Amino acid sequence: MPAVAQQSTEQMETLNDESVRTDLIPIFIMGKEYDVPSTLTIQKAFEYAGYQLIRGCGCRGGICGACATVYRLPGTAKINVGLACQTVVQANMYLTMIPFFPANRAIYNLDDLKPDAQTVLKYYPELAKCMGCNTCTKSCPMEIPVMEYISAALRGDIEQAAEISMSCVMCGICAARCPAELGQYNIGIMCRRITGKHIKPRAEHVREMIERVNTGRYEEPINGLINSDIETLRKLYVERQMEPHTAPEEWTPDLKDYL
């Protein structure tokens, strides 16, 4: 079978209208040299070089954490980190992706967890081995002060650990770099789930609405809409009262019949 690909999508991401890129720079993918356009992200550079990514590629938008990458620039010993989909290539960078990291993950039943330090230590005893080196913080592509949330978890401030770790994309670079062998991102999500479930007050208005729905009070009004002709429906739609943008939380509409 000939090498026929879906021509319509080919190269759309990597190249714009220019057919020949003149701004090529050398990069070293796992030690091997490839010339790639200087404006590409590391992810698109892999593709430009000829790779078809299977691992190390997910959302392509900096949120799924699939494309953890470490790299070094010439003339320095420093190991830099980034998400391949978010980091633009630099000349002569040496790089590799870390598409998977086998960090420890505890299995737990959220309902049974108590929001205190003992809980986290019970499931993640390695937490106590943290030596405060701050390598995790320095290696976070989301610029999260990782060590701060680990310290918070250690002293039992689960809520603070949750809040600090909120924008974690679970890429695993922190764990890959940690000399104490912690799986920070797994500790982070445990703290967030404990916070969401056991620390933050429950939203009572949600329960109230669930009960109202269960009583069947909206059945008839909604069935009425289902059975309306399209003109009636359009009219109701156009005339429905809009909550003003700047209205306070306690705003109420004039018509309360269908609440």
Partner 1 sequence: MGYTPDLLELIKKVEKTRQLRVNRKKAGEEFPALTLEQRKDRLEKYHPDYRAGALRELKVGPSKGYSVAQEIADQFEAKSRIDPDKIDLDEVHYETDVLVIGGGGAGTAAALLAEEAGAKVIIATKLRHGDANTMMAEGGIQAATKSWKDSPYYHYLDVMGGGHFENDPLLVKTMVSEAPKAIGWLESLGCMFNKWPDGKMFTLHGAGTCRKRMHYAGDMTGAEIMRTLRDEARNRIKNIGVLEFSPAVELLLDDKGFCSGAVLFNLETEEYFLIKAKAVVMATGGSGRLHMQKFMTTNHYGATGDGLVIGYRMGVKVRFLHATQYHPTGAVFPEQSEGLLITEKVRGAGANLVNIDGEQFVFEREPRDIESSSIIRECEKVRKGIPVPGQKGKFGVWLDSPMIDMLEGIGTVEREFPAKFILFKRYGIDISKLPMLVYPTLHYQNGGLEYKPDGYTSVPGFFVAGEVGGGVHGANRLMGNSLLDITVFGRLAGESAGKFVNERTEIGKLSVDHVRQYHKELEATGIVTDRVSPMVLPDYANPEVRKRQLTTTYIGSLR
Which member of 25, 28, 51, 79 binds partner 1 (CB under 8 A)? 51
What is the closest distance, in whole angstroms, from the C-beta atom of residue 131 to partner 1 in the complex? 27
Nearest to 125 by CA among 56, 180, 207, 192: 180
User: How many residues touch partner 1 (CB under 8 A)?
Assistant: 99
DSSP lists the bridge partners of residue 80 as 71
Distance CA 68, CA 98 (A): 5
Closer residue to partner 1 in complex, CB, 75/244: 244
CA dist., res. 89 & res. 36, Å (int)? 8
Q: Which of 27, 48, 135, 175 binds partner 1 (CB under 8 A)?
A: 48
CA distances from 185 to 101, 174, 220 (A): 11, 8, 47
- DSSP for residue 211: H
C-alpha torsion sign, points 103, 68, 145, 142: negative
Q: Which is nearer to partner 1, 21 or 72 (CB)?
A: 21
Q: Is 108 in the site for partner 1 (CB under 8 A)?
A: yes
26 lies in the site for partner 1, by CB under 8 A: no
- How far, in Å, CA of 27 to CA of 4, rounded? 29
Q: Which of 61, 75, 102, 132 binds partner 1 (CB under 8 A)?
A: 61
Applying CB under 8 A, which part among 125-133, 146-154, 175-183, 218-226 lies near partner 1? 218-226
Cβ atoms of residues 184 and 150 within 8 Å: yes
Q: Verify binding: residue 41, partner 1, rule CB under 8 A.
A: yes
The footprint of partner 1 on residues 170-189 (CB under 8 A) is 170, 189
35 binds partner 1 (CB under 8 A): no
- Asked if 221 touches partner 1 (CB under 8 A), the answer is yes
30 near partner 1, judged by CB under 8 A:
no
Does residue 112 touch partner 1 according to CB under 8 A?
no
The backbone torsions φ and ψ at residue 254, rounded to the nearest 5 degrees and listed phi first, read -70, -45
For partner 1, the binding residue among 30, 31, 210, 215 (CB under 8 A) is 210
53 CB burial (10 A radius; 0-12, 13-18, 19+) = middle
Asked whether position 129 contacts partner 1 by CB under 8 A, the answer is no
- Map residues 138-177 to x or -, x wherever contact with partner 1 holds by CB under 8 A: ----xx------------------x---xx-xx-------
Please identify, using beta-carbon distances, which residue of 1 and 131 lies nearer to partner 1.
1
Instruction: Answer yes or no: are the C-beta atoms of 41 and 85 closer than 8 Å.
Output: yes
